Structure 1
């Protein structure tokens, strides 16, 4: 069988009895076309089953056809929700998203950015897993727009969509302190990550405001994964020279879940023996036993705004700085006043 030739704009114009420019005006809504001519063009498109060559169209009008999204992993629901938001923004403008996740066999972020260069994407949304910028990211930024999401990288002046992590951490820590806790420990994220630093700064502000020396509160840095939270909670609860902490401030929900798991294995009740809070407010956080008190970040909105801002930039629109998106503290069952020691 002979493959059917794909119809062109010239074929549509010939069938409709109009010029190619008229067909272009109808397809792109870029010029005035009389109603009868417009209807003839639309009829020809239906009859011939014509579909535009998007790559060619995008080259001519200099708009995006493909953007890249670098994300550390998708096992973390927060990253998945941000990615979904980016996809929704891109889909609304008929733009494809090339999703890149780490290659464990290489330096992850270097392999990610190399792949994006090879795909010739129009722009990149970058969600860092380390807080540092690989050399290849600078190459991407020189060749096209790069936008950061949920992150700021020192020394790399790029637009970023972030949440007010510092305020959220301050408010959730203040709630724990208002419940009467004075012996606390922090299960923090990667020390180099901007989000980790912001959350730690918020915790420290709440501690100082309650008259507690922040330097006297131990900080255990993990990697935002559940296993890390479990390991560090054990350290915080068992490897202390004084009385054990009555509350753990966890810098994300996955580590908080790991901390709850560690408490159960140690025979400690949550929240009666140890109160625990998280950050992100993943969908599963309200389904845990006990339900987890956490800071809600609008993950989907962050992704959608990041995607929209990058596409605006690619279309030549000046993107104004976007202030940090608001967060909220969701109070649930994982915090209660410290129990009297027997």
Structure 2
């Protein structure tokens, strides 16, 4: 081969002096081939450095060879853990995963959709973010099956793998209330995201069940990033001391970490001066000082399940398209204590 193009099955056949079908029989172990011909084919494969076109092969056998994974970015450990789960499921089937992180690269969703389309993907696992538009998802659905993970998106009848965010938020808010806190505040997620809506609904349900009006609590919308937790905590503490919260309900761990960062910067002690809870249970949550009380989502399991839902759809277009919901658990650690006035 004197040029730089990728060798084809036809090139292997010509080099070995056999038919293309014979090459196919050898590579796929799908038919009888004489020993001398098999040896010539294998020798040609090695000489030409031939690798099969997995996209074409997957079309013939009606299974996946390459899938896409869209996540906002990988700075959030929760997204990285989801990606690990997807990769584990894909590796068990010898499937390649193409990663796109639109918010990390600064590329528009439509640009990433075009990139994914150019890879001739069999399907996509999609995790929405605050800056990702429905139009980019619509473009992705034209590529093939799409499975949502950790989000459900109005207007799209797509299978999804989620956690019971509402129940988790309700349980952790109840835990804070049981410590005697009356002055609570919420740092929620982006208002347009399903997860943020579910968590806010769970907080409000716990507060209402305690006999209080949830509309009386300050609610600030963050963006699930650490900086927004720090900035919004500062905003909540900018008013008179009597109006400041004694507990913060943060809709994810990164924003809770930002709130902890703010407290340290101004000399507030957690949980003596302020209790803080998060959501996700990132690996770092138990290593913080104080260790963060939070809600654990099984991120790797969710990613693994989402990829397998996608494979099921690729193998059977009529497969179940409902949502799978994973349970969550409360991780009670050191960042919550009774408010100063309620301590003995």
Task: Answer yes or no: same fold by TM over 0.5.
Answer: yes
Partner of 1:339: 340
| Shift of residue 20, structure 1, vs aligned partner | 8.4
Task: Give the 3 Å change call, closer, same or farther, for CA 202–44 of structure 1 in structure 2.
Answer: farther
Aligned length: 337
| Shift of residue 323, structure 1, vs aligned partner | 3.0
CA contact (8 A) 1:131 1:151 kept: no
| Shift of residue 46, structure 1, vs aligned partner | 6.8
Note the 1:200-279 alignment, pairs <5 A. 200-239=200-239, 242-279=242-279
| Shift of residue 96, structure 1, vs aligned partner | 1.3
Task: Give the 3 Å change call, closer, same or farther, for CA 63–215 of structure 1 in structure 2.
Answer: same
Task: Give the 3 Å change call, closer, same or farther, for CA 59–210 of structure 1 in structure 2.
Answer: same
Structure 1 residues 38-47 or 182-191, which shifts more? 38-47
2 CA distance for matches of 1:20 and 1:86? Answer: 35
Partner of 1:166: 166
Task: Give the 3 Å change call, closer, same or farther, for CA 127–312 of structure 1 in structure 2.
Answer: same
Partner of 2:114: 114
2 CA distance for matches of 1:6 and 1:115? Answer: 24
CA contact (8 A) 1:132 1:153 kept: no
Partner of 2:178: 178
1 CA distance for matches of 2:341 and 2:36? Answer: 83
| Shift of residue 140, structure 1, vs aligned partner | 2.5
Partner of 2:306: 306
Partner of 1:289: 289
The Cα offsets for residues 130-173 of structure 1, whole Å up to 9 and x where unpaired, read as 28643242232134111111101111111111000001111111
Name the SS for the 2:58 alignment partner. helix
2 CA distance for matches of 1:22 and 1:2? Answer: 24
1 CA distance for matches of 2:335 and 2:103? Answer: 36
Task: Give the 3 Å change call, closer, same or farther, for CA 247–45 of structure 1 in structure 2.
Answer: farther
Partner of 2:141: 141
The Cα offsets for residues 87-145 of structure 1, whole Å up to 9 and x where unpaired, read as 11112112111111126786632332232223332211111112864324223213411
| Shift of residue 238, structure 1, vs aligned partner | 2.5
Task: Give the 3 Å change call, closer, same or farther, for CA 165–270 of structure 1 in structure 2.
Answer: same
Q: TM-score, normalised by structure 1?
A: 0.86
Q: TM-score, normalised by structure 2?
A: 0.85
What is the root-mean-square deviation of aligned Cα atoms in Å? 3.3
CA contact (8 A) 1:247 1:274 kept: yes
Task: Give the 3 Å change call, closer, same or farther, for CA 85–134 of structure 1 in structure 2.
Answer: same
2 CA distance for matches of 1:160 and 1:131? Answer: 20
Q: Name structure 1 gaps, 5 residues minimum.
A: none
The Cα offsets for residues 29-64 of structure 1, whole Å up to 9 and x where unpaired, read as 779x8xxx8999998887665864423321212322
Task: Give the 3 Å change call, closer, same or farther, for CA 46–111 of structure 1 in structure 2.
Answer: closer
Q: Name structure 2 gaps, 5 residues minimum.
A: none
CA contact (8 A) 2:294 2:330 kept: yes
